[in-house]
Structure 1
Amino acid sequence: MSEAPERNENKTAPAAPKKRTPPEMKTLPMLPLRGMVVFPYMIIHLDVGRERSLAAIEKAMMEDHRILLVCQIDADKDDPGREDLYNYGTVAVINQILKLPGGTVRVLVEGEKRARISDYHRLENYDEVEAKVYTDPIYTSTDVEVATRSLIHRFEDWVKLSKRIPADTLVSVAIIDDAGRLADLIASHLNLKVHMRQDLLECINIRDRLELLSYDLSHEIELLRMERNIDGKVRQQMDKAQRDYYLREQIKVIRKELGYKDDIVSDIAEYRTKLAVGGYPERVQEVVNRELHRLEGMNNMNTETSVIRNYVEWLLALPWNKESKDTVDVKKAAKILDHDHYGLQKVKERILDFLAVHQLAPDKNAPILCLVGPPGVGKTSLAASVARATGRQFIRASLGGVRDEAEIRGHRRTYVGAMPGRIIEGIRNAGTRNPVFLLDEVDKLAADYRGDPSSALLEVLDPAQNKAFSDHYIDIPFDLSKVFWIVTANNLGTIPRPLRDRMEIIELSSYTEYEKLEIAKRYLVGRQREQNGLSGKDIRFGAGVLQDIVEHYTRESGVRELERLIGQVCRKAARKIVEGEEPPIRVTRRNLTDFLGRVKFLETKSEKKPQVGVATGMAWTEVGGAILPTEVTVLKGKGKLILTGQLGDVMQESAQAALSYIRSRADALGLPEDFYEKDDIHIHLPEGAVPKDGPSAGITMATAMISALTGRKVHSDVAMTGEITLRGNVLPIGGLKEKVLAAYREGMKTIVLPKKNARDIEEIPESVREKLTFVPASHMDEVLKTALLPADRPAKQETEVPDEKAPAKKDETGANASSTESGQGGDNDA
Structure 2
Amino acid sequence: MSESQTILPMIPLRGMVVYPKVTAQLDIGRDKSIKAVEKAMADDRLIAVVAQLDENVEDPVQSEIATVGTLAKIKQMLRLPGGIIRILVEGIHRITIDNIELVDGYNSATFTELKPIGENMVELEAYRRFAQSKFLQWTDETKSVSEEVVTRIMNINNPNILADQIASVLPVPLFKKQQLLDILDVKERLHKIIAVLNTELEISHLEEEINHQVRQQMEMQQKEYFLREKIRAIHDELGDKVDPDEEANELREQLSKLKVSDDIRERIEKEIARYSRMPQMMPESTILRNYLDWVLALPWDKESKDRLDINEAAKILNQDHYGLEKIKERILEFLAVRKLSGSQGGSILCLVGPPGVGKTSLATSIAKAMNRKFVRASLGGVRDEAEIRGHRRTYVGALPGRMIQGMKNAGTKNPVFLLDEIDKLASDYKGDPSSALLELLDPEQNKTFSDHFIELPFDFSEVFWITTANVAGNIPGPLLDRMEIIELSSYMEEEKLEIAKRYLVPKQIKRNGLDGHNVKLSDAVLRKVISEYTREAGVRTLEKTIAKVLRKVAYEVVEGDGKAPRVTVKNVPHYLGAPIFTEQEREKEPQVGLVCGLAWTSVGGVVLPCEATTMEGTGKLSLTGSLGKVMQESGQAAMAYIRHNAEHLALPKEFYKNTDIHVHLPEGATPKDGPSAGITMTLAVVSALTDKKVRSDLAMTGEITIRGRVLPIGGLKEKLLAALRHGIKEVLIPYGNQKDVAELPESVKKGLKITTVKTMDDVLAKAFAK
| SS at 2:462 equivalent | coil
User: Partners of 2:508 and 2:559 in 1: how far apart?
Assistant: 20
1:460 paired residue among 437, 440, 443? 440
- Report what 1:317 is aligned to: 297
Give 1:718 deviation, angstroms. Answer: 1.8
1:508 equivalent to 2:492? Answer: no
Per the alignment, do residues 637 and 428 of structure 1 end up closer, same or farther by CA in structure 2, a change over 3 Å counting? same
1:749 matches 2:729? yes
- Which amino acid counterpart does residue 388 of structure 1 have in structure 2? K
For 1:732 and 1:247, how far apart are their aligned partners in 2? 75
Compute the displacement of 1:467 (Å).
0.5
Q: Following TM superposition, by how much is the alpha carbon of 1:704 offset from its aligned partner in structure 2, in angstroms? A: 1.1
- Provide the residue aligned with 2:194 in structure 1: none
- Using a 3 Å threshold, how does the CA distance of structure 1 residues 575 and 350 change in structure 2: closer, same or farther? same
Corresponding residue of 2:236 = 252
1:714 aligned partner, one-letter code: V
Secondary structure, aligned partner of 1:540? coil
Off by >6 Å, runs of 4+ in structure 1: 235-247
Give CA-to-partner distance per residue, 1:482-534, whole Å, 9 cap, x none. Answer: 00000111111111211111111111111111111111111111112222222
Q: Which moved more, 1:575-584 or 1:336-345?
A: 575-584
* Aligned mate of 2:656, from 668, 676, 696: 676
Q: Residues 727 and 279 from structure 1, CA distance in 2 versus in 1: closer, same or farther, beyond 3 angstroms?
A: closer
Distance 1:533 1:620, change over 3 A: same
8 Å Cα contact 1:510-1:741 kept in structure 2: no
CA distance in 2, matches of 1:357, 1:679: 66
Once residues 246 and 533 of structure 2 are traced to their aligned partners in structure 1, the CA distance between those partners, rounded to angstroms, is: 63
Choose the corresponding residue for 1:371, options 351, 371, 377.
Answer: 351
CA spacing shift, 1:239–1:505, aligned 2, 3 Å = closer
- CA displacement at 1:595 relative to structure 2: 0.9
Alignment partners' CA distance in 2, 1:271 and 1:700 = 71
- Check if 1:308 corresponds to 2:292: no
2:362 aligned with 1:382:
yes
Which stretch shows the higher mean deviation, 664-673 or 633-642?
664-673
Q: 1:330 to 1:269 in 2, by over 3 A?
A: same
User: Per the alignment, in what secondary structure is the counterpart of residue 319 of structure 1?
Assistant: coil
After superposition, the CA RMSD in angstroms is 2.6
1:381 is displaced (CA, Å) by 0.6
- 2:478 is aligned to 498
Identify which of 664, 670, 682 aligns with 1:690: 670
**Which stretch of structure 1 is more off in the superposition, 717-726 or 320-329?**
717-726
Q: CA, structure 1 residues 584+557, in 2 after alignment: closer, same or farther (shift >3 Å)?
A: same
Q: Which residue of 2 aligns with 1:647?
A: 627
User: Would you say the 8 A contact 1:730–1:777 is kept in 2?
Assistant: yes
The one-letter amino acid paired with 2:425 is L
Mapping of 1:586-625 within 5 angstroms? Answer: 586-604=566-584, 608-625=588-605
Q: How far apart, CA to CA, are the structure 1 residues paired with 2:264 and 2:734?
A: 60
CA distance in 2, matches of 1:355, 1:704: 52
Q: How does 1:61-460 map to 2 (within 5 A)?
A: 248=232, 251-252=235-236, 254-255=238-239, 262=242, 264=244, 267-460=247-440
Q: CA deviation at 1:769?
A: 1.7
Residue 371 of structure 1: SS of its match in structure 2? strand
In 1: Cα distance, 2:736 partner to 2:227 partner: 88
Aligned-partner residue type, residue 724 of structure 1:
I
Could you give the per-residue CA deviations for residues 343-402 of structure 1, whole angstroms, max 9, x where no partner exists?
111111111000000001123434111111111111111000000000000000000000
| Alpha-carbon distance, 1:635 to partner | 1.9
> Quick check: 2:248–2:273 contact (8 Å CA) kept in 1?
no
Any unmatched runs of 5+ in structure 1? 1-234, 791-830
Aligned letter for 2:723? Answer: A
Question: Is 2:627 the counterpart of 1:627?
Answer: no
Say whether 1:582 aligns with 2:562: yes
For residue 450 of structure 2, what is the aligned residue in structure 1? 470
Q: What displacement does 1:596 show?
A: 1.0
1:519-538 pair list within 5 angstroms: 519-535=499-515, 537=517
TM-score calculated relative to the size of structure 1: 0.63
Q: Structure 2: which amino acid aligns with 1:599? A: P
Which residue of 511, 535, 539 corresponds with 1:559?
Answer: 539
Contact 1:446-1:452 at 8 Å conserved across structures: yes
Counterparts of 1:613 and 1:244, CA distance in 2: 85
Measured in 1, the distance between the counterparts of 2:702 and 2:227 equals 86
Q: Distance in 2 between matches of 1:544 and 1:646?
A: 38
Q: 1:253 to 1:709 in 2, by over 3 A?
A: same
- Give SS of 2:350's match: strand
Can you list the C-alpha shifts for 1:752-798, whole angstroms capped at 9, x where unaligned?
011121111122222222211100011212212222212xxxxxxxx
Q: Kindly indicate whether the alpha-carbon contact (under 8 Å) linking 2:535 and 2:603 is maintained by their aligned counterparts in 1.
A: no
C-alpha spacing 1:560/1:747, structure 2 compared with 1 (3 Å): farther
| Amino acid aligned to 1:741 | L
Note if contact 2:348-2:484 (Cα within 8 Å) is conserved in structure 1.
yes
TM-superposed CA distance for 1:650, in Å, is 2.2
Gaps of 5+ in 2: 1-218
Match of 1:539 among 504, 510, 519: 519
Q: Secondary structure of 1:586's match?
A: coil
User: Which deviates more, 622-631 or 509-518?
Assistant: 622-631
Query: 8 Å contact 1:618–1:625 — kept in the other structure?
Result: yes
CA shift, 1:645, in A, is: 1.1
AA matched with 2:699? A
**Are residue 485 (structure 1) and residue 465 (structure 2) matched?**
yes
- Work out whether residues 583 and 726 of structure 2, in 8 Å CA contact, stay in contact via their aligned partners in 1: no
In structure 2, relative to structure 1, the CA distance for the partners of 1:465 and 1:240 (3 Å cut) is: closer
Q: Partner residue of 1:101?
A: none
Contact 1:700 1:721 in 2 (8 A): yes
Which whole-Å CA distance do the structure 1 matches of 2:364 and 2:587 have between them?
Answer: 44
Q: CA deviation at 1:625?
A: 2.8
Structure 1 contact 284–315 (Cα < 8 Å) conserved: no
- Report the more deviating stretch, 236-245 or 765-774: 236-245
Q: Distance in 2 between matches of 1:398 and 1:490?
A: 13
Q: CA deviation at 1:474?
A: 0.3
Aligned with 2:566: secondary structure?
Answer: strand
Q: How many angstroms apart in 1 are the aligned matches of 2:440 and 2:226? A: 51
Q: Secondary structure at the match of 1:537?
A: coil
**1:293 Cα shift?**
1.9
What are the Cα deviations for residues 1-48 of structure 1, in whole angstroms up to 9, with x where unaligned? xxxxxxxxxxxxxxxxxxxxxxxxxxxxxxxxxxxxxxxxxxxxxxxx
Residue 264 of structure 1 deviates from its aligned partner by: 4.5
1: CA distance between counterparts of 2:610 and 2:554? 45
Residue 557 of structure 1: how far off its partner (Å): 0.9
Q: CA deviation at 1:605?
A: 6.6
**Alpha-carbon distance in 1 for matches of 2:758, 2:421:** 38
Equivalent pair of 1:327/1:391 in contact (CA under 8 Å)? yes
Question: Secondary structure of 2:450's partner?
Answer: coil
Shift of 1:642: 0.8
Q: Distance in 2 between matches of 1:554 and 1:608?
A: 26
Task: Please say which of residues 773-782 and 687-696 is displaced more in the overlay.
Answer: 687-696
CA gap of 1:640–1:326, structure 2 versus 1, over 3 A, is same
- CA shift at 1:582, angstroms? 3.3
Q: Which moved more, 1:484-493 or 1:620-629?
A: 620-629
> 1:738 maps to which residue?
718
SS across alignment from 1:634 = strand
Change over 3 Å in CA distance of 1:637–1:581 after alignment to 2: farther
The 1:646–1:317 alpha-carbon spacing in structure 2 relative to 1, beyond 3 Å, is: same
